Amino acid sequence: MSRTPRTGVAPVPEQPRRADAGPPPAAPLAAPAPVTPQGSPTVTPAGAATATPQGSPTVTPSATALARSAAEAAGRLLARPTVGLGDVVPAPVSVRPRPAADLVLPADAAVRVSADPAAREVAEHLAELLRPATGYPLPVADLPTAPGPLQLTLGAAAAPRPTGAAAGDEEGYRLDVDPDGVRITADTATGLFHGVQTLRQLLPTAVESRTPVAERWVVPGGTIVDRPRFPYRGAMLDVARHFFGVDDVCRVLDHLARYKLNHLHLHLTDDQGWRIAVDSWPRLTAVGGRTEVGGGPGGWYTAADYRRIVEYAARRHITVVPEVDLPGHTNAALVAYPELAPDKVAPPPYTGTEVGFSHVDPADERTYAFVADVLGELAAATPGPWLHIGGDEAYKVKGVAYTGFVERVQRIVAGLGRTVVGWHQIAPAGQVDGRVLQWWGTDGDDPTVAEAVRRGARLILSPGNHAYLDMKYTPDTPLGHDWAGLIDVHRAYHWDPATHLAGVPAEAVLGLEAPLWTESVTSMAEIEFLLLPRLPALAEVAWSTPSTRSWAGFRDRLAGHGPRWHAAGIAFHPSPEIPWPAAPPVRHLPRTAPTSRPTHTATSRHLPPAADAPRSPALDQPSPAHTPAPETPQPMPAPVPRANDTRTS
Ligand code: TNX
């Protein structure tokens, strides 16, 4: 069986334009000198003089100068946005377009921000997102009294609450666009960050380019007021079945941030490998980290690696939720420390995909010393409030042996001042304050879980048949599982966490999480293929109020993201459920320095890289000046004929 998902290679025509969009973009710029709208060549003052073969000096303008002059020329033309104010995923609470109030971002724009360190970081992030494609310098400066074209304001007074606002206020924001500028206001830096992600989606697709593009940077006029429905909006990456390095995890964090997800759960340990260094038990990684499914080399995070992940996440307002899966799923730990095994004999390393055969010894005190050491070190390295203790599929630890074990581990976590999260199998164990069950069942009726909720447990919903990102889209999806069914984009979209589980009140539901198990996933391209486009569907389920979302609206709004992912070098599944447009031609400005072909830094063992291969492993890092781009932009996956999709909800 071929394991190559369709990432597409066919050339595509120009993107169809929205009916309400403005005139077509300016003509491509000729290298080396840009051309004015009147057709006369210009020489960019910032350029460097070189000699032609004939010996006469010409000027090779810098990419930045070219972008600026192109934008200025373009700004003289009538500019209208290519994106509508409502074309945002996840759908905002309220959108009030003012078509006469569009903004053209000027080349000399500064990002003005309230004098607050966290807000300033958001402003820097915005500038870093916009600089590569615009080529504009976008300096970040404190907020003056006079309005500027990009303004981030922190403070309750600045963010009037929509009526009835309650949960989610601290992550909410307001975005106003008029011809003078974009103003994002929020109570918190997190709200500003989400507003920045919205602004990014309102700019033309070319904003995703990592090199300067000739474009009119138009933002549609009007006002968006927005806040999330659920406070916990997450995804999980299983780095135990196959190991993924720090750069890959950061790239996944970028995808989460784009869609306003705020938790990344890392499944750090399993039968096939132990992925997090623990100083007091060094063989966990030295021995237990060297294996993975299929016999590959495995790997693990050092303390410094983990810190990088946590910090990268924090800069994107994402909380890392580390999981140590106990008492089952522990073969790798038993290989490293046989004293933890019930028979005190080291099992052979495991590189298959079965579950439920291994466990630590719940009757040995040494096991609890181990758990306390591991969770203690992990808590010290983790700024977020959660510690995930697994608890799933420990088939050989039954009855009170199991509940007694879970209760002791819950107490260890509480003693560390953290909140316990566990897969819903821990439901029968006694309640500790604030504990959270992660429900991964497939039929919305689970009396044991409903009873645990009555005793005070809260829930994160990961229904296997809606939220599992390792399920196949269709029977012929070349990777993934199907034990919980097939999950196409509609299925990922079509459910409601608040009403999903019988006997569980909406107030007990913290939100949802989309797990990506990696038994069959071995590369970044494969991760992205399974993540996109289902992750934005699940993000909308978690963020948007039911009254603002519909399948028909979602698929239309999502369609424009295909060209964005393509421009950013992100692989995705071109599901026929979504009316993808063709990729717009990206008009890269001429280079100023020689570049080489992009290097695909992610491990890709089965799939070719995305058409426009990832050029930096983490997408939203400041782009180094030499970041290469392909000489000729590669085509987007062939648009699939618009499916006759009559599903409306
Ligand atoms: C079930 S969901 C598991 C994992 C597997 C996954 C594959 C859960 C808590 N346990 O061990 O990787 O199915 O889909």
Q: 149 near 105, Cβ under 8 Å? A: yes
Q: DSSP assignment, residue 99?
A: G
Q: Is the pLDDT of residue 621 over 90?
A: no
Separation of 265 CA from ligand 1 center, angstroms? Answer: 14
- To test the pocket of ligand 1, the residue of 354, 355, 472 to mutate (highest count of ligand atoms within 8 Å of its CB) is 355
Instruction: Output 162 or 648, whichever has higher pLDDT.
Output: 648
Question: How would you classify residue 460: left for phi > 0, otherwise alpha for psi between -120 and 50, otherwise beta?
Answer: beta
What would be the CATH architecture of the domain defined by 94-226? 2-Layer Sandwich (3.30)
Per-residue model confidence (pLDDT) at position 68: 54
Q: What DSSP element (H or E) covers 224?
A: strand 222-226
Per-residue model confidence (pLDDT) at position 443: 93
Separation between Cα atoms, residue 463 and residue 468, nearest integer Å: 7
Per-residue model confidence (pLDDT) at position 169: 78
Write a three-state SS string for 505-521: CHHHEEEEEEEECCCCC
Written as six digits, the tokens of 192 are 């500003």
Nearest CA-CA partner of 423 in 382, 394, 381, 465: 394
Q: 142 near 115, Cβ under 8 Å? A: yes
Nearest CA-CA partner of 356 in 396, 391, 415, 300: 396
Per-residue model confidence (pLDDT) at position 255: 98
Known catalytic membership, residue 528? no
Nearest CA-CA partner of 194 in 112, 252, 129, 259: 259
Measured from the Cβ of residue 475, the count of other Cβ atoms closer than 10 Å reads 7
Phi, psi of 192 (to 5 degrees): -60, -40
Per-residue model confidence (pLDDT) at position 17: 31
Q: Is the preceding omega at residue 37 within 30 degrees of 0, hence cis?
A: no
Q: 108 near 182, Cβ under 8 Å? A: no
Q: What DSSP element (H or E) covers 234?
A: strand 232-238
Annotated domain spans of the chain: 94-226, 232-450+480-548
Beta-carbon contacts of residue 278 (< 8 Å; ≥ 6 apart): 284, 285, 373, 374, 377, 378
Closest CA to ligand 1's atom 2: 440
Closest CA to ligand 1's atom 13: 517
Binding pocket residue ranges, ligand 1, CB within 6 Å:
355, 392-393, 423, 440, 468, 470, 481, 517, 519
Separation of 49 CA from ligand 1 center, angstroms? Answer: 61
Separation between Cα atoms, residue 617 and residue 266, nearest integer Å: 18
Mean confidence (pLDDT) of the chain? 83
Q: Is the preceding omega at residue 463 within 30 degrees of 0, hence cis?
A: no
Range 472-495 average pLDDT: 98
Q: Which residues pair with 141 in a beta bridge?
A: 112
Per-residue model confidence (pLDDT) at position 374: 99
Q: DSSP assignment, residue 23?
A: S
- To test the pocket of ligand 1, the residue of 323, 393, 513 to mutate (highest count of ligand atoms within 8 Å of its CB) is 393
Pairing verdict, β 319-326 and 386-390:
parallel
Separation of 517 CA from ligand 1 center, angstroms? Answer: 7
Q: 537 near 555, Cβ under 8 Å? A: no
Strand ranges (E), 62-219: 94-97, 103-104, 111-113, 140-142, 150-154, 173-178, 181-186, 218-219
Nearest CA-CA partner of 382 in 282, 285, 268: 268
Per-residue model confidence (pLDDT) at position 67: 57
Written as six digits, the tokens of 304 are 């410094």
Nearest CA-CA partner of 561 in 577, 542, 580, 548: 580
Separation between Cα atoms, residue 31 and residue 487, nearest integer Å: 47
Separation between Cα atoms, residue 489 and residue 487, nearest integer Å: 7
Q: 301 near 358, Cβ under 8 Å? A: no
Closest CA to ligand 1's atom 6: 517
- To test the pocket of ligand 1, the residue of 269, 324, 438, 517 to mutate (highest count of ligand atoms within 8 Å of its CB) is 517
Written as six digits, the tokens of 506 are 């909406």
Separation of 276 CA from ligand 1 center, angstroms? Answer: 20
Instruction: Output 70 or 476, whichever has higher pLDDT.
Output: 476
Q: Which residues pair with 375 in a beta bridge?
A: none
Per-residue model confidence (pLDDT) at position 635: 53
Separation between Cα atoms, residue 479 and residue 523, nearest integer Å: 12
By percentage, how much of the chain surpasses pLDDT 90? 73
Question: Would you say the C-alpha torsion 515, 520, 526, 529 has a positive or negative sign?
Answer: negative
Three-state SS for 191? helix
Separation between Cα atoms, residue 446 and residue 162, nearest integer Å: 36
Per-residue model confidence (pLDDT) at position 36: 26
Q: What DSSP element (H or E) covers 51?
A: strand 48-51
Instruction: Output 19 or 89, whichever has higher pLDDT.
Output: 89
Separation between Cα atoms, residue 162 and residue 588, nearest integer Å: 41
Separation of 471 CA from ligand 1 center, angstroms? Answer: 11
Separation between Cα atoms, residue 614 and residue 599, nearest integer Å: 8
Local confidence band at 497 (pLDDT 50, 70, 90 cut-offs): very high
Minimum mean pLDDT range among 8-12, 456-460, 631-635? 8-12
Beta-carbon contacts of residue 109 (< 8 Å; ≥ 6 apart): 136, 138, 148, 149, 150, 181
Q: Which is the catalytic residue, given 72, 124, 393, 407?
A: 393
Separation of 260 CA from ligand 1 center, angstroms? Answer: 25
Ligand 1 atom showing the smallest separation from residue 423 Cα? 9
Residue that is written with structure tokens 């918190």 in the block = 188
Q: Is the pLDDT of residue 239 over 90?
A: yes
Local confidence band at 122 (pLDDT 50, 70, 90 cut-offs): very high
Closest CA to ligand 1's atom 12: 517
Beta-carbon contacts of residue 425 (< 8 Å; ≥ 6 apart): 391, 392, 393, 394
Distance of CA 281 to the CA centre of its chain: 32
Minimum mean pLDDT range among 225-229, 366-370, 461-465, 617-621? 617-621
Residue that is written with structure tokens 């997800």 in the block = 261
Range 365-388 average pLDDT: 98
Q: How many residues does the chain have?
A: 649
Alpha helices in 462-579 (DSSP H): 464-467, 489-493, 524-531, 534-543, 551-559, 561-567
Domain 232-450+480-548 in the same topology as domain 94-226? no
- To test the pocket of ligand 1, the residue of 392, 471, 482 to mutate (highest count of ligand atoms within 8 Å of its CB) is 392
Q: 274 near 284, Cβ under 8 Å? A: yes
pLDDT tens for residues 245-262? 999 999 999 999 999 999
Measured from the Cβ of residue 597, the count of other Cβ atoms closer than 10 Å reads 11
SS3 content of the chain, % helix, strand, coil (to 5): 30, 15, 55
Three-state SS for 269? strand
Q: Is the pLDDT of residue 281 over 90?
A: yes
Nearest CA-CA partner of 86 in 544, 579, 534, 488: 544
Q: Is the pLDDT of residue 480 over 90?
A: yes
Closest CA to ligand 1's atom 11: 355
Per-residue model confidence (pLDDT) at position 387: 98
Pairing verdict, β 232-238 and 222-226:
unpaired
Separation between Cα atoms, residue 581 and residue 14, nearest integer Å: 9
pLDDT tens for residues 193-220? 999 999 999 999 999 999 999 999 999 9
pLDDT tens for residues 18-45? 333 333 332 222 222 222 222 222 222 2
Separation between Cα atoms, residue 246 and residue 617, nearest integer Å: 9
What is the CATH number that goes with domain 232-450+480-548? 3.20.20.80
Separation of 359 CA from ligand 1 center, angstroms? Answer: 16
Q: 603 near 251, Cβ under 8 Å? A: no
Q: 551-559 and 534-543 are packed helices; what angle lies between their axes, rounded to 10 degrees?
A: 130
Minimum mean pLDDT range among 38-52, 270-284, 568-582, 612-626? 38-52
Per-residue model confidence (pLDDT) at position 125: 98
Three-state SS for 577? coil
Q: What is the pTM of this model?
A: 0.84
